[in-house]
Amino acid sequence: MPNFTFYQRVSRAFHESSSLSKLLVLFTVSGGTGALVAYAEADRSNNGAFIGSSETVSEKKKVVVLGTGWAGTSFLRNLNNPRYEVMVVSPRNYFAFTPLLPSVTSGTVEARSIVEPIRNIFRKKRMDIEYSEAECLKIDAENRKIYCRSSLNNNNNGIEEFVVDYDYLIIAVGANVNTFNTPGVEEHCHFLKEVEDAQKIRRTVIDCFERASLPIVSDEERKRILHFAIVGGGPTGVEFAASLHDFVNEDLGKLYPRVKDLVKITLLEAGDHILSMFDKRITAFAEDKFKRDGIEVKTGSMVVKVSDKEISTKEMKNGGEITTIPYGMAVWSTGIGTRPFIKDFMKQINQANRRALATDEWLRVEACDNVYALGDCATINQRKVMEDIAAIFKKADKDNSGTLTVKEFQEVIDDICERYPQVELYLKSKQMRSIVDLLKEAEGDVKKESTELNIEEFKAALSNVDSQMKFLPATAQVASQQGAYLAKCFNRMEECEKNPEGPLRFRGEGRHRFKPFRYKHLGQFAPLGGEQTAAQLPGDWVSIGQSSQWLWYSVYASKQVSWRTRALVVSDWLRRFVFGRDSSQI
């Protein structure tokens, strides 16, 4: 080992000195929302003499990133432009691989195996990145400041709050749990958003079994304690129900043979089906499998109140009848809400009536310079074609003839499709190959080149296009792609300022700097327990069973952010196969 350490030291020393001799000299010219930065690299032939002074270095643009979840971490991992000075502010000093949280609740995977310190993620980058463990309290977009509070409260000497300036602000703070103001939920239900939540659920499951095993507890009480209620039939709730069922049947049953037959798992869903966002075949398979497994699925059951021992539900199928169900542990996993300081910020910028921070297609918060929002706290406010139809027509009608030839139209087709992704979705839904077909449909079957449309005909042709506008789901996949997209924009900020690569500005001059964000759906998994997983892949390809489980294993292993977590997660799975899951209260 000493050799190993020695090697590390030598390597570190080398890296440090080499980066010193490559010290960057920056001449920064600000302009509008972008920044034009010219830089020179002091090369080694220069005898290591430093060019420039510390003042020029400090003129780096300051990027503040709020949050270390999927979006923030993906941004940091992909950012590699040394012309920024980055400050990360988050109450969690680690990134957590949240799709494995349900596995943590049952101990299939350890909490530590799915987290990676954020400092580890950016430590090897040749960039100026700092991290502060604090939560953001307030955003002052006018003065480009954020107010933070350290979330550590041991021996803090009263110093708690501080202010950070920014040139660019990246808001990637994720979302809260949404209780829909249901009384008792905050006090009595478990959530499944953070690593600590999963650990708490795991301890509580064991606690329930221990309590039910006490000699003085009545049988009725045992039944209540061992009734696990899960509210919300989305992917998280379903996966948790399945993994809890496996935990009980494969592991806890052996350790608590006296009480295992009293265990009951109930999944409460207000809608008509669980996994409603998936293909119907998956929903049917899941409902069927749960029935066989003895997991009760109550659909059309809306929770209206939670007390310490009972859940009250409104049964939609029985005309809104209120019933109460005794329970031992309840897990609430129904949708997401907005964090309080984001709500305040939304009020400031006149978005108070929205669910999440509205951004344009470039992830810029609307009406807010140099503020970006991505991940669960944001929603892209896709521009409608019909809002811009006159501008589009005018731009396309180059000869100002008042009519649009197919040729004229074809010249702007790519820009339209890029700027308004709903066009492409609409074409796909109508099984058309190109936008020209749309015009044909409007005009009847005429020869391509000769077709001419006036503005009214053009409007009519595109009138239904906006119906295909879709909100992106609040998933890790979206957040991660947004983070990577935004980092690439930041990496090429100066370059694209000079040579814009985006679509035509229909309502202005020139082109947009960047291509707008476009989400690429890679598919979604729904693990159903017992080594069965449902997978819905792009092109509506559905796969259910053990093969999907192995696909799940390989995808989740490959998506880990570091070799360390990858090795840990895989070894956790192996350990579970060999030794089962642990049931200590740790």
Stretch that binds its own copies, among 235-243, 272-280, 518-526, 573-581 (CB under 8 A): 573-581
For residue 135, state whether it binds its own copies (rule: CB under 8 A).
Answer: no
Give the contacts of 270 (CB within 8 A, at least 6 positions apart): 300, 301, 302, 303, 316, 334
Among 100, 129, 206, 230, binds its own copies (CB under 8 A): 206
Asked whether the beta carbons of 60 and 83 are under 8 A apart, the reply is yes
**Minimum distance between the CB of residue 26 and its own copies, rounded to whole angstroms?**
21
Closer by beta carbon to its own copies, 102 or else 421: 102
Work out the end-to-end distance of the chain between its first and last CA atoms, rounded to an integer number of angstroms: 31
Applying CB under 8 A, among 143, 157, 353, 400 the residue interacting with its own copies is 157
Considering the complex, state which of residue 93 and residue 403 has its C-beta at the smaller distance from its own copies. 93
Contact between 187 and its own copies per CB under 8 A: no
Name the segment binding its own copies (CB under 8 A); options: 377-385, 394-402, 453-461, 568-576.
568-576
Quote the DSSP letter at residue 176. Answer: E
Backbone angles phi, psi at 438, to 5 degrees: -60, -50
Of residues 45, 155, 450, 499, which one binds its own copies by CB under 8 A?
155
Q: Is 244 in the site for its own copies (CB under 8 A)?
A: no
479 near 380, Cβ under 8 Å? no
Nearer to its own copies, 157 or 400 (CB): 157
Nearer to its own copies, 157 or 353 (CB): 157
Write the binding mask 316 to 345 for its own copies: x where contact by CB under 8 A, - elsewhere.
------------xx----------------
224-243 positions binding its own copies, by CB under 8 A: 225
Binding mask 539-558 for its own copies (x = CB under 8 A): -------x------------
Report, in Å, the least distance between residue 2 CB and its own copies: 7
Which of 505, 394, 508 is CA-nearest to residue 454? 394
Number of CB atoms found within 10 A of residue 383's CB: 18
* Residue 416, SS3 per DSSP: helix
Least distance between its own copies and beta carbon 568 (Å)? 7
Q: Which is nearer to its own copies, 17 or 276 (CB)?
A: 17
Q: Does the protein bind its own copies through residue 470 (CB under 8 A)?
A: no
Torsion, Cα of 499, 503, 504, 505 (10° steps): -100
**Residue 244 token pair:** 């809890």
Q: Most distant CA pair in the chain: distance in Å? A: 90
Find the binding residues for its own copies in span 2-61 (CB under 8 A). 2, 4-5, 12
Task: Pick the closer one to its own copies by CB: 144 or 488.
Answer: 144
* 482: phi then psi, degrees, rounded to nearest 5: -65, -45
Closest alpha carbon to 349 in 366, 371, 327, 331:
366
Q: For its own copies, give the closer residue by CB, 10 or 522.
A: 10
Distance CA 553, CA 469 (A): 33
What does the block give as tokens for 402? Answer: 């008042």
SS3 state of residue 160: coil
Residues 342 and 169: beta-carbon distance below 8 Å: no
Site of tokens 């579970």:
576
Cβ atoms of residues 438 and 427 within 8 Å? yes
Binding mask 281-320 for its own copies (x = CB under 8 A): ---------------------------xx-----------
- Within 62-121, which residues bind its own copies (CB under 8 A)? 92-94, 110-112, 115-117, 119-120
Residue 279 or 531: the one with the smaller Cβ distance to its own copies is 531
**Alpha-carbon span 531 to 242, nearest angstrom:** 10
Of 311 and 404, CB closest to its own copies:
311
Q: How far is the CB of 120 from its own copies (least distance, A)?
A: 6
Are the beta carbons of 282 and 527 closer than 8 angstroms?
A: no
Q: Given the rule CB under 8 A, which of 45-53, 176-184, 207-215, 456-464 is the region that contacts its own copies?
A: 207-215
User: Which residues in the 502-541 window bind its own copies by CB under 8 A?
Assistant: 530-531
Q: Note whether 210 binds its own copies by CB under 8 A.
A: yes
Measured from the CB atom, the residue of 116 and 397 that comes closer to its own copies is 116
Q: Which of 108, 204, 266, 533 binds its own copies (CB under 8 A)?
A: 204
The verdict on 269 binding its own copies (CB under 8 A) reads no
Quick one: which of 134, 268, 371, 569 contacts its own copies (CB under 8 A)? 134
Distance CA 403, CA 419 (A): 22
Here the contacts of 184-190 (C-beta below 8 Å, separation 24 or greater) are: 184/305, 184/306, 184/307, 185/303, 185/306, 185/332, 187/306, 187/308, 188/306, 188/307, 188/308, 188/330, 189/231, 189/306, 189/330, 189/331, 189/332, 190/329, 190/330, 190/331, 190/332
71/74 Cα distance (integer angstroms): 5
| Helical segments of 80-217, H only | 101-105, 118-122, 185-188, 195-212
CB of 16 to its own copies, least distance (A): 9
